[in-house]
Amino acid sequence: MGVPEIEKGLDYVESLTGIRPFAGEVFAGAGRSFVSARLSLGGRQFLEVIGPNPTFEGELEGIGARAAALPGPRLLFWVMGVRDFGAYLRDAVRAGYPFSDTNHVLNGGYEYRVGAIGAEAAPHIPSVVEWRSRDDSGELAATSGSRIADFTVHHPEAQKVQEVYDALGIGMLVRRGDKPRLRLILQTPTDDVILS
């Protein structure tokens, strides 16, 4: 979820869920144009809150600039976990959907490979991640208690997007909507919460 100001964004999530997202050192954003914090949603699922880095010197770029330009909190993208990143990438290329960007990240207790499907980032097309190692102990202890009740993808051309999902083996039904949109319903310790 992108937020124009990280602290206000964390306050917002905490006000909805009763839980403050965890911002460990690995997400502190030193030298990056963005910072992030995570809310555990059980298992390997989490909500990542991303905002511009208030200590960044220079012009914001990438996800930091996108978040800063938002009028308020908004779901910007989603990421799908796979067991074998290389095999999935090869299958996507054969299906006609090459990755536009891939990274192998080593950061603190985290190691993962991540990539974006297609030529441009779009909220309805997921990025793909393979976690190789992940130290969630502090994060899980600090932010446990919320679960995903429902997650849906909406698009004006739902059938076309559905064809992409089917070709990529994404087992989700795309719903028709007036604009590309993600909708997440969380079960929290206080109440059900809708984010979009």
For residue 26, is pLDDT > 50?
A: no
pLDDT band at 108 (very low <50, low <70, confident <90, very high): low
Structure confidence by residue, pLDDT tens digits, 55-97: 888 888 888 899 999 999 999 999 999 999 999 999 999 988 8
pTM, to two decimals: 0.87
Structure confidence at residue 72 (pLDDT)? 96
Task: Please state the rounded mean pLDDT for residues 163-189.
Answer: 94
Q: State how far the Cα of 120 lies from the Cα of 101, in Å rounded to an integer.
A: 9
| Residue 51 · residue 35 · CB < 8 Å | yes
Which residue ranges form the domains of the chain, and what is each CATH number? 6-195 (3.10.180)
For residue 167, is pLDDT > 70?
A: yes
The DSSP secondary structure of 71-99, one letter per residue, reads: SS-B----EEE-S-HHHHHHHHHHTT--E
Structure confidence by residue, pLDDT tens digits, 34-56: 888 989 898 778 999 999 998 88
Structure confidence by residue, pLDDT tens digits, 141-166: 556 789 999 999 999 999 999 999 99
Of 190, 185, 110, the closest CA to residue 151 belongs to: 185
